[in-house]
Structure 1
Amino acid sequence: MSETQATQSSAQTETEIGPRIGDQVFEAMQASILNGEYRGGQRLRIRQLAAALGTSVMPVRESLARLEEVGLVETSPHRGAVVKTFTAEELLQIYSVRRILEVEATVQGAQRLDEVGRARLDEEFSAMESSLAHGDPAAYLDHDEELLATIYSAAGNPVLVETIRTLWLRCRAYKLVGARREMEAGDLNPLLKHQRHLMDAVDTGDAESAARVTGDSFDDAVSRIRSVLED
């Protein structure tokens, strides 16, 4: 192989591998934020992250930009990149939008969910119970979201589901703290009751009842946020 061919081959390899490395770095950083390893307000230093992840600074820079796009990171001239911290007011705004979208997704999805989807609900619910039994709030939230996404996806509107998932990302840190508090209190029923009632409504084909359950879950969440705001 000539020198020119070797150079071209190397460039092609970097082009092929580069996007995969970038995605891996993004996914690793996103996971660290979502599972609470990177806390709200924590400064994200590019070179330290690159060293910890075993990569160059470029994929980290690109990942920070992507994380800012989905609302998990914010940047400022003086502090650089930090993990986004939401105020109670911002959370209320996010939950207000989520309520509108998720009630609609519940109504549409509950009426169209097939047997395969229904079986998936049982699998995710069992995984939620197992995650709680093992004291893993992050895994609990993962399975909770997949249970809901299974219902929402049955509506046949991928844009709706994608938008909801983006909003989940933006309030994940709050949801994680909430799940941890409930687990520490020793009463796991609040972490399972809405999903159980939602599955019952799906079984009866009662879209109105399913929508009411979804609405009630948001009312409870908003009540908790307001109590934080008052404090």
Structure 2
Amino acid sequence: MAGAKRGRATLATHPVAVPSRPDMIAARLRQALADGEITEGEQLVEPDLVASFGASRPTVREALQRLVQEGLVTAIPHRGVFVTTFSPEDLADIYDARRAIETSAALRLAETQDPAVLASLREHHRAMTTAVTADDPAELTAADMRFHETLVACLRNQRLERTSRTLLVETRMCLTRLEGHYSMPQEAVDEHADIVGAIQSADVTAVIKAVGDHMTNAAELLDRLHAQRTA
């Protein structure tokens, strides 16, 4: 299949260090999904992945099974493993889940005022600002993801971090499919500044509003883009 060949060629340029382990391969595949190297609906062909990673079939199979469990790929009996395609309903679910997790994280940080975490959030926000000025959408997206990963990490809950990581990958997959980058980058940067400001103010209402507004605006943008592509 043409799609599978594209994924194989790209992945071959990023070999996993020997020995190949399922978690390392799964992490590389997640990154490829997030970066749009492997696209929605594309088949992940097991023999191709074995050759690309220099790994055994059982190792690759275990890595793929992890992605199946996370919902990033779908195993179809007698056909193979394909990258999941997200519907508008899926988009809504993704952002509802992110809103719940990240609101909890922001409220926790508003209470603790952890200086190291706040400094990291400000650093990621500055990186977003710099990326907008430099017209670098890839770095803007990367800094955005680091911002949200840092925020959720303050919960110190590995299960929520794993869930959030999957949600962030799904978000990037949707963004890549629909547009590839932010259509309103400065608005995205401003919303992150609002989140940091609300957390620093320790104002519960402001925190809930800042996180909620960001999730609502992002979900509505992706929904509009989806509607335009399917019109």
| Alignment-derived partner of residue 205 in structure 1 | 202
| Alignment-derived partner of residue 119 in structure 2 | 119
- Cα deviations by residue, 1:26-66 (Å, 9 ceiling, x for unpaired): 22222111111000000111111221223332221111111
Aligned partner letter, 1:172:
R
| Alignment-derived partner of residue 191 in structure 2 | 194
Instruction: Identify if the C-alpha distance between structure 1 residues 193 and 135 changes in structure 2 by more than 3 Å, giving closer, same or farther.
Output: same
- Asked if the contact 1:43/1:81 (under 8 Å) is kept, the reply is yes
1:158, CA displacement in angstroms? Answer: 4.4
1:189, CA displacement in angstroms? Answer: 0.5
The within-5 A match list for 1:8-47 is 21-47=21-47
CA separation in 2, counterparts of 1:90 and 1:118?
Answer: 31
Q: Which runs of 5+ in 2 are unaligned?
A: 1-17
Which moved further from structure 2: 38-47 or 156-165? Answer: 156-165
| Alignment-derived partner of residue 68 in structure 1 | 68
1:50 aligns with 2:34: no
- Amino-acid identity (%): 26
- In our comparison, the structure showing a higher alpha carbon Rg is 1
| Alignment-derived partner of residue 135 in structure 1 | 136
CA separation in 2, counterparts of 1:114 and 1:46?
Answer: 45
CA separation in 1, counterparts of 2:153 and 2:73?
Answer: 27
- Asked if the contact 1:105/1:160 (under 8 Å) is kept, the reply is no
- Asked if the contact 2:103/2:208 (under 8 Å) is kept, the reply is yes
| Alignment-derived partner of residue 163 in structure 1 | 163
Q: Which runs of 5+ in 1 are unaligned?
A: 1-16
TM-score (norm 1): 0.78
Aligned partner letter, 2:206:
S
Aligned partner letter, 1:121:
L
CA separation in 2, counterparts of 1:194 and 1:60?
Answer: 40
| Alignment-derived partner of residue 215 in structure 1 | 212
1:85, CA displacement in angstroms? Answer: 0.9
Aligned partner letter, 2:172:
R
CA separation in 2, counterparts of 1:226 and 1:124?
Answer: 26
Aligned partner letter, 1:135:
D
- Asked if the contact 2:40/2:83 (under 8 Å) is kept, the reply is yes
1:178, CA displacement in angstroms? Answer: 5.9
CA separation in 2, counterparts of 1:76 and 1:44?
Answer: 11
Instruction: Identify if the C-alpha distance between structure 1 residues 32 and 165 changes in structure 2 by more than 3 Å, giving closer, same or farther.
Output: closer
SS at 1:38 equivalent: coil
Number of equivalences: 210
| Alignment-derived partner of residue 147 in structure 2 | 147
SS at 2:81 equivalent: strand
- Asked if the contact 1:108/1:152 (under 8 Å) is kept, the reply is no
CA separation in 2, counterparts of 1:159 and 1:93?
Answer: 18
